[in-house]
Amino acid sequence: MKDPVCLMDFDLRMAGAMSIHHGRGYYFCSEICQKKFNRNPDTYTHNTSAERLSIGIMGSAGSTTSEDVIQSLHLLGKTIAQNNLILITGACPGLPYECASSVRSQGGLSIGISPALSLDEHTHKYHSPTDAFDVIIYTGSGLMGREVTNIRSSDIVLIAGGRSGTLGEFSIAYDEGKLIGVLQGSGGIADALPLILKSIKKDTGAQLIYDSDPVQLLNKLLSAYEQRHFRHPSCFCEPAQEARKQ
């Protein structure tokens, strides 16, 4: 990585701080450079390339959700687009579709990870939509197999409602130490997670943040990612503190 302020090259695992600006992640050698950047980001953004962060929305694919919850997902999608973040879902109907539709209507980028081999199988075997996505990635790995791709492609995971499939996605995200947001009041697995976590008793580095307001939840997640969780993007990466010792 290149520090956009001092232009120093460094290993990403050695980053001293990071900031999110217009949906992109900028990494710094120290908090000193980060503070200079935060005072006037547009002065420095041209000095280095920066990837856009992705938000994975995992939730109920069924149609028995209340209108209030659907409106919350519309607002969440609008906020994701306004923050220039990339949306990732399982390309299914239900709550993820409602969020994806909102993102796309606001000019945001919506990506669907399909369980199918092709567009034909996506629409006819899995009865899944296509109109809410700018890109559909056909994994051919089935409903359970594509869950791993969903989670590993998302910088931040957000759970809304959900049944057994969403529980599987949560389990992968939790085991792999992801930053996880939970939309309280959305029903299903999302509202059951506090009880489920009491039985897990396993520290994976995952961090859970709860809120019933989709805008506040997203803001809290972005803040948590900036402050700490960028150091632990996946359990398959060497922890930053170990890299610093070498």
Q: What are the pLDDT tens digits along the chain (246 aa)? A: 899 999 999 988 889 999 999 999 999 999 999 999 999 999 999 999 999 999 999 999 876 679 999 999 999 999 999 999 999 999 999 999 999 999 999 999 999 999 999 999 999 999 999 999 999 999 999 999 999 999 999 999 999 999 999 999 999 999 999 999 999 999 999 999 999 999 998 889 899 999 999 999 999 999 999 999 998 766 555 654 444 444
Residues 173 and 152: beta-carbon distance below 8 Å = no
**Domain 1-51 grouped into CATH 3.30.1370:** no
Look at phi and psi of residue 187 and say left if phi exceeds 0, alpha if psi is from -120 to 50, else beta: left
Residue 117's Cβ-side half-sphere holds a number of Cα atoms within 13 Å equal to 2
Could you tell me the fold of the domain covering 54-230?
Answer: Rossmann fold (3.40.50)
Residue 99, SS3 per DSSP: helix
142: which 2 tokens? 């089935």
DSSP 234: -
Spans of all domains in the chain: 1-51, 54-230
